Amino acid sequence: MPKGRAGPHKFSLSHPQTPKLSYGYSSKMNIGKSGYRVFSANSTSACSELAKIITERLGVELGKSAVYQEANRETRVEVKESVRGQDIFIIQTMPRDVNTAIMELLVMAYALKTSCAKNIIGVIPYFPYSKQCKMRKRGSIVCKLLASMLAKAGLTHIITMDLHQKEIQGFFSFPVDNLRASPFLLQYIQEEIPDYRNAIIVAKSPSAAKRAQAYAERLRLGLAVIHGEAQCSESDMADGRHSPPAFRPSCGPAGLELPFMMAKEKPPITVVGDVGGRIAIIIDDIIDDVEDFVAAAEILKERGAYKIFVMATHGLLSAEAPHLIEESHIDEVVVTNTVPHELQKLQCPKIKTVDVSMILAEAIRRIHNGESMAYLFRNVTVDD
Of 109, 150, 107, nearest in space to 128 by CA: 150
The phi-psi region of residue 73 (left if phi > 0; otherwise alpha if psi is between -120 and 50; otherwise beta) is left
Residue 74 CA: distances (Å) to CA of 39, 68, 77, 255, 342: 20, 8, 10, 57, 27
Across-strand partners of 270? 227
pLDDT given for residue 203 in this prediction: 96
pLDDT given for residue 231 in this prediction: 43
Radius of gyration (Cα) for the chain, nearest Å? 28
**pTM (2 d.p.):** 0.83
For strands 87-91 and 36-40, give the pairing.
parallel
pLDDT in tens, 158-204: 999 999 999 999 999 999 999 999 999 999 999 999 999 999 999 99
Q: Where residue 25 falls among pLDDT bands split at 50, 70, 90?
A: very low
Is pLDDT of 26 > 50?
no
pLDDT in tens, 274-330: 999 999 999 999 999 899 999 999 999 999 999 999 999 999 998 899 999 999 999
DSSP 86: -
Angle at 107 between CA 101 and CA 109, to 5 degrees: 100
Detail the DSSP E strand segments found in 211-264. 222-227
pLDDT given for residue 315 in this prediction: 95
pLDDT given for residue 20 in this prediction: 43
pLDDT given for residue 137 in this prediction: 80
pLDDT in tens, 58-85: 999 999 999 999 999 999 999 999 999 9
Which percentage of the chain shows pLDDT scores above 70? 84
pLDDT given for residue 252 in this prediction: 57
pLDDT given for residue 216 in this prediction: 96
pLDDT given for residue 95 in this prediction: 85
pLDDT in tens, 80-101: 999 999 999 999 999 888 999 9
pLDDT in tens, 306-316: 999 999 999 99
pLDDT given for residue 296 in this prediction: 94
Of 172, 159, 184, 170, nearest in space to 366 by CA: 159
Can you tell me the mean pLDDT for 127-140? 88
pLDDT in tens, 231-274: 444 554 555 555 555 555 555 566 677 787 888 787 888 899 99
Residue 207 CA: distances (Å) to CA of 16, 236, 381: 76, 10, 18
pLDDT in tens, 209-236: 999 999 999 999 999 999 887 444 455 4
DSSP 302: H
Can you tell me the mean pLDDT for 113-131? 96
CA distance 135 to 141: 6
- Asked if 121 and 89 touch (Cβ cutoff 8 Å), the reply is yes
Can you tell me the mean pLDDT for 139-147? 93
